[in-house]
Amino acid sequence: MKLTLLIPGLLAPPAPLAELAAALPPTPALRRMLAQADHDTLPINGICATIASLAELETLPAGALTALAAEEIPGDRWWLRVDPVHLAADADGLRLVHGEVLEVTDDEAASLTVFLATELELPLRRATPTHWYLEREPFAADTHRPEAVLGRRIEPLLPSGPDGDALRRWLNEVQMLLHAHPVNLRRADRGQHAINSIWPWGGGKLGAPGRWSYSMTLADDPALVGLALRHGGEAGAGPRGLAQVPTTGHNLVRLDEVYEATRLGDVERWLSALAGLERDWFAPARAMLADGALEEFVVLDCAGNRFTLRPLMRWRFWRGEHGLEAD
């Protein structure tokens, strides 16, 4: 079989690697495999651009793909992703906290999406508790994917362009509707951040398919799942380890633990995620390369780095170990 791992943030720890050196878990398989692999620098950067490139698409219609993953029939209609977020005020302005960090429950998401759909008179629905989408009239506005906004002031990254003002006014309406919703009052009682806004991005139509070489896609990202389904591939939930991946075909797997740890600035979680990659993915993959069960192993870090390893490359002992620093 062939295996491609999409591991955002693999070479982007939440602190300088030199500061983490004493606490780094042993990762000989990961380090050796990255060192022995062919390394290409791709002209793409970011999760959405990397996922789009898998199908040789220029852009990722995340809203339409999310609808497809949620068993909608997108047709030729226009879809938008509207993920739940918290906008936190500080001395410099507003900053975005994404729904995945907010630990939104399915009951909370159900209550809020039904409420907003009724109030806004729009078919707003949820694919997962933290991935929402809707069908609406097209607008001409530039938007940004949530991961590009995290940790930064949102004001320069709010929707812009011909319909940017109208979209920002619509967001203000949503924020007023959410302000005193019972879900948020209960979250406040528990000391949790309010779900006080939504973040629009990934608007567009499904469009023509690109090219797809993966027989099975395993991920908790509905846009990636939708992309696989769009191209006739099979898809399923993200696995816990290589043992849960089919042993035939070309499998694509997205792994988010190191990325989530970096987004949270959680060093201990990042170290644990790194150890998990070694135990559950890289050590088993190295063994499969050795016995010929794995004919090609590809790692994409969504920052322009692609590592490709085939069985005979395991003998490149002179390359030593990769230092896990971003190039």
pLDDT tens digits, one per residue of 266-278? 999 999 999 999 9
The answer to whether 38 and 308 have CB atoms below 8 angstroms apart is yes
What Cα–Cα distance (Å) separates residue 157 from each residue in 90, 130, 165, 200, 265?
A: 16, 20, 13, 11, 22
Q: Give the count of alpha carbons within 13 A of 311, CB side only.
A: 11
What lies within 8 Å, CB to CB, of 137 at 6+ separation is 78
| pLDDT tens digits, 7-34 | 999 999 999 988 998 999 999 999 999 9
CA 279/CA 260 separation, integer angstroms: 19
**Chunked mean pLDDT (size 10), the chain, 327 residues:** 97 91 94 94 92 95 97 96 93 82 94 97 95 94 88 89 96 96 97 96 95 97 97 96 97 95 90 97 96 97 96 76 74
Give the residue carrying structure tokens 């109208």.
Answer: 166
CA angle 185/188/193 to nearest 5° reads 115
Sign (positive/negative) of CA torsion 119, 199, 169, 205?
negative
Spatial contact of 279 and 30, defined as CB atoms under 8 Å apart: no
The residue ranges of every structural domain in the chain are 2-59+209-319, 62-204
Look at strands 296-300 and 305-309 and give their pairing: antiparallel
Give the residue among 195, 186, 177, 193 at the shortest CA–CA distance from 109: 195
CA 37 – CA 152 distance, rounded (Å): 34
Query: What pLDDT score does 118 carry?
Result: 97
DSSP 279: I
Phi, psi of 134, deg, nearest 5: -155, 160
Each residue's pLDDT tens digit, 134-186: 999 999 999 998 888 877 889 999 999 999 999 999 999 999 999 999 999 99
